[in-house]
Structure 1
Amino acid sequence: MSQILDLGARQILNAFRSRELSPVEYMQALIARVEASEPWVQALWLFRPERSLSEARASETRYAQGVPLGLLDGMPVTVKELIATQGDHVPLGTAATPHSPAAEDAPSAARLREDGAIMFAKTTCPDYGMLTSGLSSFHHLSRNPWDLSQNPGGSSSGSSAAGAAGYGPLHLGTDIGGSIRLPAGWTGLFGLKPSLGRVPIDPYYTGRAVGPMTPAVDDAALLMRTVTRPDWRDATAVKPEEIDWDAGPADVRGMRIGLMVDAGCGLPVHPEVAAAIAAAARQFEANGAIIVPLPGVLTREMLDGLDIAWRARFWGQMLKLPTEAREKILPYIREWAEVGASASPVAVAEGFDQTFAMRRAANEALHGLDFILSPVNPMQSYPADWPSPTNDPARPFEHIAFTVAWNMGEQPAASIHCGMTSTGIPIGLQIVGHRFDDLGVMRVARAYEEWRGPITTWPRHDR
Structure 2
Amino acid sequence: MTERLADLTAVELVSRYQEGSLSPVEVLEDVLARVDSLEPRLCALYAPDPTAARAAARDSEYRWRTGEPAGPLDGVPVTVKENIATRGTPVPQGTAAADLTPATDDAPAAARLRASGAVIFSKTTMPEYGMLSSGVSTFHHLSRNPWDPARTPGGSSAGAGAAAAAGYGPIHLGTDIGGSIRLPAGWCGVVGLKPTHGRVAVGNPYPGRAIGPLARTAADAALALTVISGPDRRDYTSLPPLPDSTSHGNSDNPALDPQGLRIGLLLDAGLGLPVDPEVSAAVSAAATLLEKAGAIVEPIPPIITRAMLDGLDHFWRVRSAYDINAIPEGRRTKVLPEIRRWVSTATELTAFDVFHGYSQMHAMAVAVDAAFATYDFILSPVAPITAFPAELAYPTDDPLKPFEHIAFTVPYNMSTHPAATVNCGFSSTGLPIGLQIAAPRFNDLAALRLAAYVDSLVPDHRPWPA
What TM-score do the two structures reach when normalised by structure 2? 0.97
- Which residue number corresponds to residue 356 of structure 1? 362
- The whole-number CA distance in structure 2 between the counterparts of 1:13 and 1:454 is 28
- What aligned pairs does 1:252-401 form with structure 2 within 5 A after superposition? 252-401=258-407
Cα 1:425–1:372 shift into 2, 3 Å: same
1:26 pairs with 2:14: no
SS at 2:4's partner residue?
helix
Matched, 1:407 2:407: no
Q: How much has 1:245 moved relative to structure 2? A: 4.3
Instruction: Work out the CA distance in 2 between the residues paired with 1:410 and 1:102.
Output: 28
One-letter identity of the residue aligned with 2:167: G
CA contact (8 A) 2:152 2:389 kept: yes
Which secondary structure does the structure 2 equivalent of 1:373 belong to?
strand
Match of 1:429 in 2: 435
Corresponding residue pairs, total: 460
8 A Cα contact 1:187 1:426, kept in partner: yes
Contact kept in structure 2, 1:200 and 1:230, CA below 8 Å: yes
Paired with 1:69 and 1:258, the residues of 2 have a C-alpha distance of 41
Kept in 1, the 8 Å contact 2:282–2:433? The answer is yes
Deviation of 1:316 after TM superposition, in Å, equals: 0.6
Which residue does 2:152 correspond to in 1?
151
Range moving further from structure 2, 424-433 or 2-11: 2-11
Query: Is the 8 Å Cα contact of residues 263 and 296 (structure 1) preserved in structure 2?
Result: yes
Contact 1:2–1:33 (CA under 8 A) maintained in structure 2: no
Superposed CA offset, 1:304-348 (max 9, x none): 111011010010111111112111011111111111122111101
| Structure 1 residues 383 and 440, CA gap change in structure 2 (3 angstroms) | same
SS of residue paired to 1:182: helix
Show the 5 A alignment for 1:126-145: 126-145=127-146
Mark the CA change 1:327 to 1:321 in structure 2 (over 3 Å): closer, same or farther.
same
Structure 1 residue 230: Cα displacement: 2.4
Contact 2:230–2:239 under 8 Å retained in 1: no
Structure 2 residue aligned with 1:185? 186
Unpaired segments of 5 or more residues in structure 1?
A: none
- Distance between the aligned counterparts of 1:253 and 1:370, measured in 2? 12
Indicate conservation of the 8 Å contact 2:126/2:158, yes or no.
Answer: yes
Q: CA deviation at 1:154?
A: 0.3
Provide the residue aligned with 2:223 in structure 1: 222
Q: What is the CA distance between 1:54 and its match in structure 2?
A: 1.5
SS of the counterpart of 2:22?
coil
Distance 2:390 2:289 in 1: 33
Q: After superposing the two structures, state which structure 1 stretch, 148-157 or 225-234, moved more.
A: 225-234
Residues 364-393 of structure 1, C-alpha deviations (whole Å, 9 max, x = no match): 111111111100010122111100111101
Which residue of the partner structure matches residue 200 of structure 1?
Answer: 201
- The counterpart of 2:457, out of the listed 434, 438, 451, is 451
Q: Partner amino acid for 1:322?
A: P
In structure 2, what is the equivalent of residue 100 of structure 1?
A: 101
**Preserved CA contact (<8 Å) 2:230 2:238:** no
- What runs of 5+ residues in structure 2 fail to find an aligned partner? none
Letter paired with 1:204: P
The residue aligned with 2:67 is 66
Query: Bigger shift: 251-260 or 120-129?
Result: 251-260
- State the shift of 1:452 in Å: 2.2
Q: Secondary structure at the match of 2:259?
A: coil
CA distance in 1, matches of 2:184, 2:310: 22
**Equivalent position SS for 2:421:** strand
Counterpart Cα distance in 2 of 1:8 and 1:453: 21
- In the alignment, which residue of structure 2 is the partner of 1:125? 126
Q: Does the CA-based 8 Å contact 2:318-2:346 persist in structure 1? A: yes
Deviations 1:152-182 (A, max 9, x none): 0000000000001110111110001000001
Residue type at the aligned position of 1:360: V
CA contact (8 A) 1:2 1:29 kept: no
The answer as to whether partners of 1:41 and 1:144 remain within 8 angstroms in 2 is yes
- Whether the 8 Å contact between 1:419 and 1:427 is mirrored in structure 2 is yes
Q: What is the alpha-carbon distance in structure 1 between the residues aligned to residue 259 and residue 60 of structure 2? A: 44
Judge conservation of contact 1:2–1:30 (CA < 8 Å) in 2.
no
Q: What is the aligned-residue identity percentage? A: 50
CA distance in 2 between partners of 1:66 and 1:444 (Å): 34
Query: What is the rounded CA distance, in whole Å, between the counterparts of 1:388 and 1:143 in structure 2?
Result: 14
Distance 1:330 1:208 in 2: 22
C-alpha distance in 1, partners of 2:443/2:62?
A: 39
Q: Is the 8 A contact 1:298 1:361 kept in 2?
A: yes
Alpha-carbon separation, structure 1, partners of 2:449 and 2:459: 15
